[in-house]
Amino acid sequence: MFQVMRFFISAILDLEIENCSDMKKRKRLALTLLIVVLAVSGIAYSLFKNIQSRFEAPRKNTPDIQFTISKNKTLDAIVGDLKYYDFIKDEGFFIFALEHTQDNTKGGENFIKVGKGSKTIEREAVYTISQSMSAWELASVLLNSGTRQDCDHGCPENNFTPELLPGGDLAPTIKEKYSWVKTYEDCVEAMGNDGGQLSSEQYYERTGIKRCVSPDGREFTEGKEGWSDKPSP
């Protein structure tokens, strides 16, 4: 492209100089053309860098994540998940990377076809990915590096292990999530979807003690400070 531009500008410059007897006009013409060349070059470079950045990794120095593709997952759903959890910068550019990355494996029994060629992504498989991968690296993993996982009895509820929050940050561990629990009363309040257990009424009638096991496995006793990491039998 730049060679064509140089040839075109050189031809114009030669033509104008032949018809121009004033040296000052020649210099102004040359300067104008130089400015045009620099401006066009700058625009082209910025466009190239912008396109290139769409394929770059969204983050740096992130841990590996296990990405599970279930038996009924579609390509649109996969790409949407990867964008939502910050594994790719642009869905369209990632599709382009998938369509132009070498697939060295043969499609199994349950696969997703990519593009018009023979490229496939295996369903019922687990892939080790990270937010530090470029779109090209991630595409290569999905096309070539799945580990078969039988989902006849159900795949994991979460697509990502460890669990991720919307936007891509790691979800807090169960211990981090319930680090605020310091007393028996806190423990009772914390019980819910993540588990937890209260001692029975029969146990209280027999011992006069009320105990609570928090979702992160610590045991609290009513009226007593602190907790035990090993619940009572």
Residue in the structure block whose two tokens are 């990632």: 94
Parallel/antiparallel/unpaired status of strands 125-129 and 147-148: antiparallel
pTM: 0.68
Query: What pLDDT sits at residue 202?
Result: 94
| Angstrom distance (rounded) from CA 172 to CA 206 | 38
| Angstrom distance (rounded) from CA 145 to CA 161 | 17
pLDDT higher at 88 or 29: 88
Query: What pLDDT sits at residue 45?
Result: 62
Tell me the per-residue pLDDT of 80-124, one tens digit each, with 9 for 90 and over. 999 999 999 999 999 999 999 999 887 777 889 998 878 899 998
Alpha carbons within 13 A on the beta-carbon side of 19: 6
Query: What pLDDT sits at residue 84?
Result: 96
Task: Write out the H or E segment, with its range, that includes residue 79.
Answer: helix 75-84
Residue 125: phi, psi to the nearest 5? -145, 160
Query: What pLDDT sits at residue 52?
Result: 80
Tell me the per-residue pLDDT of 133-151, one tens digit each, with 9 for 90 and over. 999 999 999 999 988 877 6
Tell me the per-residue pLDDT of 159-213, one tens digit each, with 9 for 90 and over. 899 999 999 999 999 999 999 999 999 999 999 988 999 999 999 999 999 999 9
Query: What pLDDT sits at residue 54?
Result: 86
Angle at 128 between CA 123 and CA 131, to 5 degrees: 115
Annotate 21-47 with b (16+ C-beta within 10 A) or e (fewer): eeeeeeeebeeebeeeeeeeeeeeeee
Query: What pLDDT sits at residue 153?
Result: 63
pLDDT higher at 56 or 8: 56
Q: How far is CA 204 from the centre of its chain?
A: 49
